[in-house]
């Protein structure tokens, strides 16, 4: 009996050992299979393969089956990412937008190699390193422009006002981007600060901007504009929260499969502004760290959130070193804001559970942060991304006619005639609408355009569709007026001019001002 009991124990131990080893066995087996496949290709394929290329693509294909934020980085990309996190990057100083198979320079950073070479916003990038940009994705163009400091890159640029193509050799440099490009004191003692990214040092920069605003006049409220902010460093988001929330307050919790991924983050310092009324602006592009800041302030009833639903990125990544300075960024946990809710990706399954803020206000767990007040006038991100390159380029043709008068550009809004003229100019670019009907119509032209009677009918259909799209766009006239005004102000006065126009004419900013001026309304929004 003792022998049988011992045998049973040994069998059970063996089963448990095999079960414990199974994941390790499967891992080793899969590594061996991949290694053998690569070895066979290296030794026997009809032509010598590029093993680095195959490995990179194999890794990218594998990671694409997971979430969008688990990525592999080459040694060059690692260096680039390190610079970007510090608020610096090695490049030529261009912010780009796609335009009909072309690439338009949306912004040229002050003091950058691109600016010194004479490149202006609205110029078209034609070639990079003898490669036509029409054959490349925007990400590929950006990658070609980046590189190690003091290395050179050859570009061809077309200036829209002269139609002249110029070939330039630019020397890459480490460029610092401002996380806070604009801060100002609005009427009635309301501060406005735009935070465009969470780079290293941005929390201290925000504190310094607050000090500067308070030196001008007593602050009665602050508008923190996180629209278009894609996120960045979690540590900076937590420091910014600590500027407004008391020491010891739970700010964020992360939960994952591994024990080290489970963390709670508390405010570490006494707050800089514990009672200053806050309004936080968000939109569809506000993601990750922006959502942590907006969501935590909402859960703790510390700020009124205004705008549109944020992007929805509640995943936390860590960077793991691999070999030869390569790295992997891997999702290890989700973050949960103080009410206990997580922020889900668009399309990710969610039960849409109801949680409560500290005062008892209902908030839902869903895709992104839902604002307390909706933006009164709004152009969807998808529509804005389609239209902005065209409007920006058309205005670049008129850049010389745009007044450089700050007061006039701030005060004037684009006329109905200008809006309609820009919409009419889109007739030659049906792709600007970017909808399925236009694509199907172009396909029909390709297949049936040689048949004269059908060609005429297709042309009639095209004109009718253009008229319909124009009519639909005119329903967004006020939002288009703001967009075109921003772009015109940028062409005339640069980034500060664009923000000057926004703070003077953006209805969402005006709504935030009204809420902060009316403390009874402000407090009512923060109560159940």
Determine the Cα–Cα distance for residues 518 and 514; give it in Å rounded to an integer.
Answer: 6
Residues 279 and 161 in one domain: no
CATH code, domain with 142:
2.30.42.10
More confident residue, 52 or 374: 374
Determine the Cα–Cα distance for residues 280 and 303; give it in Å rounded to an integer.
Answer: 7
Residues 224 and 349 in one domain: yes
Taking residues 107-120, report their average pLDDT: 92
Closest CA to 192 of 149, 145, 226: 226
Residues 225 and 312 in one domain: yes
The number of folded domains in the chain is 4
Range of the domain at 56: 24-65
Residues 220 and 357 in one domain: yes
267 CB-side CA count, 13 A: 22
For residue 108, pLDDT over 60 is answered with yes
Residues 209 and 162 in one domain: no
For residue 300, pLDDT over 80 is answered with yes
Tell which of 118, 146, 176 closes a domain.
Answer: 176
- The answer to whether position 156 is within a domain reads yes
pLDDT of 287 reads 93
pLDDT 10s digits, 266-277: 999 999 999 999
- The answer to whether position 404 is within a domain reads yes
Secondary structure (3-state) at 98: strand
Cβ neighbours of residue 287 closer than 8 Å, sequence gap 6 or more: 229, 230, 231, 310, 311, 312, 313
- Tell me the pLDDT band of 358, cut-offs 50, 70 and 90: very high
Residues 188 and 170 in one domain: no
- The answer to whether position 518 is within a domain reads no
Mark residue 254 as left, alpha or beta (left: phi above 0; alpha: psi -120 to 50; beta: remaining). beta
Residue 270, burial from CB neighbour count under 10 angstroms (0-12, 13-18, 19+): exposed
Residues 232 and 355 in one domain: yes
Mark residue 318 as left, alpha or beta (left: phi above 0; alpha: psi -120 to 50; beta: remaining). beta
Residues 358 and 386 in one domain: no
User: How does the average pLDDT of the chain come out, rounded?
Assistant: 85
Residue whose tokens read 């569809």: 284
Encoding tokens for residue 6? 């011992």
- The pTM (predicted TM-score) of the whole model is 0.83
- Tell me the pLDDT band of 227, cut-offs 50, 70 and 90: very high
pLDDT 10s digits, 46-64: 788 888 888 878 888 888 7
Determine the Cα–Cα distance for residues 280 and 221; give it in Å rounded to an integer.
Answer: 11
From the CB of residue 330, how many other CB atoms can be counted at a distance below 10 Å?
A: 17
pLDDT 10s digits, 10-19: 555 555 555 4
Residues 422 and 392 in one domain: yes
Q: Which element (helix H / strand E) includes 307?
A: strand 304-307
pLDDT 10s digits, 410-435: 668 899 998 988 888 877 666 666 66
Encoding tokens for residue 297? 């302030």
Residues 190 and 262 in one domain: yes
Determine the Cα–Cα distance for residues 189 and 193; give it in Å rounded to an integer.
Answer: 13
Residues 280 and 200 in one domain: yes
Determine the Cα–Cα distance for residues 368 and 283; give it in Å rounded to an integer.
Answer: 10
pLDDT of 88 reads 52
Contact 289, 231 (CB under 8 A): yes
- The answer to whether position 402 is within a domain reads yes
Residues 166 and 265 in one domain: no
- The answer to whether position 126 is within a domain reads yes
Residue whose tokens read 């923000």: 499
The CA-CA-CA angle for residues 249, 252, 316, to 5°, reads 160
């Amino acid at each position: 009996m003792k022998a049988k009991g011992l045998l049973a124990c040994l069998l059970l131990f063996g089963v448990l050992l095999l079960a414990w080893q199974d994941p390790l066995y499967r891992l080793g087996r899969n590594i061996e299979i991949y290694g053998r496949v690569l070895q066979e290709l290296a030794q026997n394929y009809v032509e010598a393969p590029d093993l680095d290329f195959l490995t990179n693509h194999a890794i990218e294909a594998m990671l694409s089956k997971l979430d969008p934020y688990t990525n592999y980085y080459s040694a060059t990309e690692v260096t680039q990412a390190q610079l970007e996190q510090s608020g610096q990057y090695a490049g030529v100083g261009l912010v780009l937008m796609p335009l009909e198979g072309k690439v338009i320079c949306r912004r040229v950073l002050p003091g950058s190699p691109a600016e010194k070479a004479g490149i202006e916003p609205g110029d078209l990038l034609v070639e990079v390193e003898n490669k036509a940009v029409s054959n490349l994705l925007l990400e590929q163009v950006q990658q070609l422009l980046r590189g190690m400091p003091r290395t050179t890159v050859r570009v061809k640029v077309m200036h829209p006002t002269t139609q002249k193509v110029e070939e330039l050799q630019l020397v890459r440099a480490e460029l610092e981007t401002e996380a806070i490009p604009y801060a100002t004191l609005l009427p009635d003692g309301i501060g406005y600060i735009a935070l465009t990214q969470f780079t290293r040092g941005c929390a201290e920069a925000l504190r310094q901007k607050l000090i500067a605003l308070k030196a001008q006049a007593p602050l009665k409220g602050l508008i923190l504009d996180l629209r278009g902010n894609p996120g960045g460093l979690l540590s900076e988001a937590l420091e910014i929260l600590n500027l407004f929330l008391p020491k010891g307050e739970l700010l964020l919790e992360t939960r994952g499969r591994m024990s080290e991924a489970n963390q709670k983050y508390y405010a570490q310092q006494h707050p800089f502004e514990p009672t200053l009324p806050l309004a936080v602006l968000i939109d569809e592009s506000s993601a990750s760290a922006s959502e942590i800041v907006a969501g935590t302030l909402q859960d703790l009833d510390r700020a009124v959130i205004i705008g549109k639903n944020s992007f929805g990125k509640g995943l936390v990544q860590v960077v793991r070193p691999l070999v030869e300075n390569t790295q992997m960024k891997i999702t290890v946990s989700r973050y949960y804001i103080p009410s206990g809710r997580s922020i889900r990706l668009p399309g990710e399954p969610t039960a849409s559970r109801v949680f409560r803020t500290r005062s008892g206000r209902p908030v839902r767990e869903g895709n992104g942060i839902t604002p307390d007040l909706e933006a009164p006038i709004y152009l969807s991100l998808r529509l804005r991304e389609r239209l902005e390159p065209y409007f920006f380029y058309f205005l670049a043709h008129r850049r010389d006619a745009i007044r450089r008068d700050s007061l006039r550009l701030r005060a004037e809004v684009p006329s109905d005639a200008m809006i309609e003229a820009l919409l009419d100019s889109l007739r030659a670019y049906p792709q600007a609408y970017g909808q399925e009907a236009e694509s199907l119509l172009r396909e029909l032209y390709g297949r049936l355009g040689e048949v004269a009677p059908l060609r005429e009918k297709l042309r009639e259909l095209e004109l009718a569709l253009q008229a319909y799209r124009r009519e639909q766009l005119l329903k967004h006239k006020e939002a288009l007026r703001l967009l075109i005004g921003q772009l015109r102000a940028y062409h005339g006065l640069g980034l500060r001019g664009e923000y000057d126009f926004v703070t003077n004419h953006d209805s969402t900013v005006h709504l935030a001002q009204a809420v902060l001026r009316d403390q009874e309304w402000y407090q009512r929004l923060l109560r159940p």
